[in-house]
Amino acid sequence: MDGSTQAPEALLRVERVSKSFGAVVALQDISLHLPAGEITGLVGDNGAGKSTLIKIISGVLAPDSGSIEFRGKPANFASPAEAREQGIETVYQDLALAGNLAVWANVYLGRELTVGPKILHILDKRAMLSKTGEMLERFIRNVPPIAEPVESLSGGQRQVVAIARAGAWGSKLILMDEPTAALGVAETKAVEEVIFELKRQGLTLLVISHNLDQVFRVTDGVWVMRRGRVIGYRQTARTHPDEIVSMITGAAAAAGAHA
């Protein structure tokens, strides 16, 4: 495959992973890798298997066969918590935040700081409030009001918080499923700035997107999937949207078959 001669070392390798749901084959013998420190796109039509693949990498689903290697070690995570512990965070389109909780509470959700007797788990709200600001400022230029409930923020601000939260907890790899699908132009730009900032600080990112403009704006390389298989890898600078579209739709393969 084109990608195998890439210069940067791979942070994550997926080797011959397959996954079926009953009679439906979602992933068929998938192999791909994510170059460390790069933003990699993952594109394909609905039902190509992108979300299933992300769920396998992040420990939500277990593969039927095949293996995953993260930072050079075998990594078949039993749960998202295990994946998170190893430094893989996932940002979903709309499930990410609890709207009724303040920004700081969402940043610390599941990782609350506590004080006093261990058994009571009394929240250390003051410490969490004061640290949330610093954590988000690392990645966000205009940090939203951290004491306000998330439901009072705009969709873009929410997504920025969700992505920055993933970066703030020292993760190595962030998986993003359609991070800007529901956002306007300005908000999309703000989210992309955070994505660039994460890369600048050394994180590796995998972005699922249906928006090819965005893929070409943001990514260093793209994997294309179709009907549960990997079609190929292209370096973004050396390909063209037309080529990616033909790989997504199968026009390229059809043309090849006729040749």
Partner 1 sequence: MSVRRGSRLAAIARRQGVLIAFIALIAVLFAATPTFGTYQNLINVLQQNSIIGIIACGMTFAIILGGFDLSVGSVTALSSVVGATLMIDLGTPGIPIGIIGAVLACLLVGATNGGLIAYLGVNPFVATLGTMTVVRGLIYVATNASPRFGVPYSFTTLGLGRLFGIPNPALLFLVVAVSLGFVLHRTRFGHYVYAVGGNAAASAQMGVNAARVRFAVYVLVSLCSAISGIILIGQTASATPQAALGYELTAIAAVIVGGAPLGGGHGRMTGTIVGVFLLGVVANGLNLFGVSPFWQPVATGLILIAAVAFDGYSKRGGFGSF
**Residues of the shown chain interacting with partner 1 in the complex, contacts defined by CB under 8 A:** 80-81, 84, 90, 92, 95-101, 105, 109-112, 114, 120-123, 145, 148, 152
C-beta of 101 vs 253, nearer to partner 1:
101
Beta carbon of residue 98, minimum distance to partner 1 (angstroms, whole number): 4
Give the position of tokens 């013998």.
Answer: 29
To the nearest 10°, the Cα dihedral for 258, 230, 226, 73? 170
Beta carbon of residue 248, minimum distance to partner 1 (angstroms, whole number): 29
C-beta of 23 vs 120, nearer to partner 1:
120
Beta carbon of residue 84, minimum distance to partner 1 (angstroms, whole number): 7
CB 213 within 8 A of CB 222: no
C-beta of 165 vs 226, nearer to partner 1:
165
Beta carbon of residue 122, minimum distance to partner 1 (angstroms, whole number): 5
Between CA 38 and CA 256, with CA 14 as vertex, the angle to 5 degrees is 90
C-beta of 43 vs 166, nearer to partner 1:
166
Q: Which residues pair with 204 in a beta bridge?
A: 173
Determine the Cα–Cα distance for residues 254 and 217; give it in Å rounded to an integer.
28
Determine the Cα–Cα distance for residues 11 and 28; give it in Å rounded to an integer.
22
Beta carbon of residue 114, minimum distance to partner 1 (angstroms, whole number): 6
Determine the Cα–Cα distance for residues 78 and 154; give it in Å rounded to an integer.
34
C-beta of 166 vs 230, nearer to partner 1:
166
